[in-house]
Each structure stands twice: as C-alpha cells, then as structure tokens.
Amino acid sequence: MHELAVTSNVLEIALRYAENAQRVRTVRLVIGQLSSMIDDSVQFYWDIIAQGTPAEGSTLVFTRIPAVLACQACGEQYPIASRYDLTCPACGGMRVHVIAGEEFYVESIEVEDATDDHSDSRVGEDSQRE
C-alpha cells in the first residue's frame, strides 16, 4: 500500500505548477503498466489530502499505457500483457526494448485563472461587449 505517498507527491507537484491559480480542476496522470501500481482508489486519498488546498474538489484523470516490447531483430512491436512467452511472436527474437509501459508522471493540470472570481473584472468585460 503506497497510494497515500504517491498521492501526496502528485499534490505537491500539482500545487507547485498551479502557482497563483484560483483552483485546480483536473490533474492528468500518465501511468505505465510496468510502473507503480496505483488504481482509481487514489482519487479517494486525493479528495482527503486536497482539502483546504486550491486542488480541493479536483479530479484525477488517468491515462494508462500498456507495456509494449519491440524486437531488436525484426522491429515487431507486441504487448507483454498476460503472455508467458516474451520472445518476439514474429521471429522468436530474444533481444527486445521496452518502448512503452514505464511512464509515471503528471502530464498536465487544468486550472481556473485567478481573475475568475473578481466580479469587477467580469463586469468590465461585459460592459466592453455591450
């Protein structure tokens, strides 16, 4: 169980990039199959630890990347999911590269700009439109 530690790291990163933004609405994570196991329960921890921060109430969005091997001999690319044979299915080659599945990073955040709540600036925009 290390979801809480992972979630704390994500929060620290998100708040650092959010800087002066009023609110963080969405945090997008890219998680490869070969990287740390974290599942959707992370949202549960997130809801708790983000309380009282600009990220309170925000949503975590996961992009999950399946692990893919590429054969160095023939270039064939194939998934490793549920296979007990990791050799190249095209040529039987044993020298492979992992080309996807090791990702584990915060891709982007979506924030509401600090000016959003300033009603006077909104009035200003409205009057300009009129």
Which residues contact another protein by CB under 8 A? 1-2, 5-6, 9-10, 12-14, 17-18, 21, 25, 29, 34-37, 67, 69, 80, 83-84, 86-87, 94-96, 98, 104-113, 115-116
Task: Decide whether 47 or 112 has the Cβ nearer to another protein.
Answer: 112
Minimal distance, residue 10 CB to another protein, in Å: 6
Task: Decide whether 30 or 47 has the Cβ nearer to another protein.
Answer: 30
> What angle in degrees, to the nearest 10, is found between the helix axes of 3-18 and 42-49?
50
Residue of 112, 102, 100, 110 whose CA lies nearest to 28: 110
Task: Decide whether 51 or 115 has the Cβ nearer to another protein.
Answer: 115
Minimal distance, residue 127 CB to another protein, in Å: 18
Q: Which residue has the tokens 């945090």?
A: 27
Minimal distance, residue 123 CB to another protein, in Å: 16
The sheet with strand 68-71 has its strands ordered as: 77-79, 68-71, 96-100
81, 67 contact by CB (below 8 A): yes
**DSSP secondary-structure letter at 7?**
H
Minimal distance, residue 81 CB to another protein, in Å: 10
30, 63 contact by CB (below 8 A): yes
Task: Decide whether 56 or 107 has the Cβ nearer to another protein.
Answer: 107
